[in-house]
């Protein structure tokens, strides 16, 4: 039985995400030499090793959570179409996480389109699977899209998480498991709840 998104609380969301990593982390990441859990854990681990802020570490850890949104139950009975995983991921997280995290999730695909348009060396380093999906995702951004993207409030964090997304595809890398990062994830939830209380 899957929990309804509405039954999750700031006290249960962190463990619930952990149970997704535990149960489904070994699912295939299409066309890549790592599974989904390894992919997200590698990004978070690389961020931690490089002393990046917790919001970047958690953003990398959760950026592909949208691949598992069936875990969060149905949002609306009218919702019959499959959404893009980046939008779906941001949607399930936005009740619990600061916008910097949800923006890193929501825009990680757009960030690839941005970087391909603005940094030629970036395109050359993309994995084969990533080049393939780029074409399905609309190809590199045009000038107007580039300008709009650079104006996003969390632009720098979005780009940082995108680089971690691309880095987290190493067949041989050892990482800690999700539970190593869980206290950090909880701190992000607490920060969001605190900010909401303060603005209420």
Q: Which positions touch Fe ion (CB under 5 A)?
A: 64, 165
d(CA 77, CA 183): 34
- Smallest gap from Cβ 13 to Fe ion, in A, equals 21
Q: Determine phi and psi for 35, rounding to 5 degrees.
A: -90, 175
d(CA 99, CA 91): 11
Kindly tell me which of 55 and 165 has the beta carbon lying closer to Fe ion.
Answer: 165
188: Cβ contacts below 8 Å, ≥ 6 apart: 54, 55, 58, 97, 98, 101
Kindly tell me which of 64 and 91 has the beta carbon lying closer to Fe ion.
Answer: 64
- Smallest gap from Cβ 63 to Fe ion, in A, equals 6
Kindly tell me which of 3 and 31 has the beta carbon lying closer to Fe ion.
Answer: 31
- Smallest gap from Cβ 133 to Fe ion, in A, equals 10
- Interior CA angle at 121 toward 85 and 126, to 5°? 35
Asked if 11 and 78 touch (Cβ cutoff 8 Å), the reply is no
- Smallest gap from Cβ 130 to Fe ion, in A, equals 9
Q: Taking Cα atoms as reference points, which of 39, 17, 23 lies closest to residue 97?
A: 17
- Smallest gap from Cβ 73 to Fe ion, in A, equals 23
Kindly tell me which of 131 and 193 has the beta carbon lying closer to Fe ion.
Answer: 131
Kindly tell me which of 41 and 188 has the beta carbon lying closer to Fe ion.
Answer: 41
């Amino acid at each position: 039985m899957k929990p309804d998104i509405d039954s999750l609380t700031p006290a249960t969301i962190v463990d619930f995400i952990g149970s997704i990593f535990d149960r489904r982390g070994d699912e295939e990441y299409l066309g890549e030499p790592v599974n989904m859990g390894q992919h997200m854990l590698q990004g978070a681990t690389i961020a931690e090793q490089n002393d990046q802020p917790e919001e970047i570490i958690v953003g990398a850890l959760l950026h592909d959570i949208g691949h598992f949104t069936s875990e969060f139950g149905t949002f609306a009975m009218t919702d019959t179409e499959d959404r893009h995983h980046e939008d779906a991921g941001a949607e399930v997280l936005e009740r619990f996480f600061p916008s910097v995290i949800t923006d890193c999730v929501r825009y990680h695909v757009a960030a690839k389109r941005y970087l391909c348009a603005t940094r030629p060396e970036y395109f050359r380093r993309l994995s084969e699977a990533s080049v393939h999906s780029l074409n399905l995702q609309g190809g590199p951004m045009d000038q107007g899209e580039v300008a709009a993207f650079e104006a996003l409030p969390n632009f720098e964090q979005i780009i940082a998480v995108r680089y971690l997304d691309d880095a987290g595809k190493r067949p041989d890398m050892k990482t800690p498991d999700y539970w190593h990062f869980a206290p950090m994830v909880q701190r992000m939830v607490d920060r969001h709840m605190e900010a909401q209380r303060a603005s209420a």
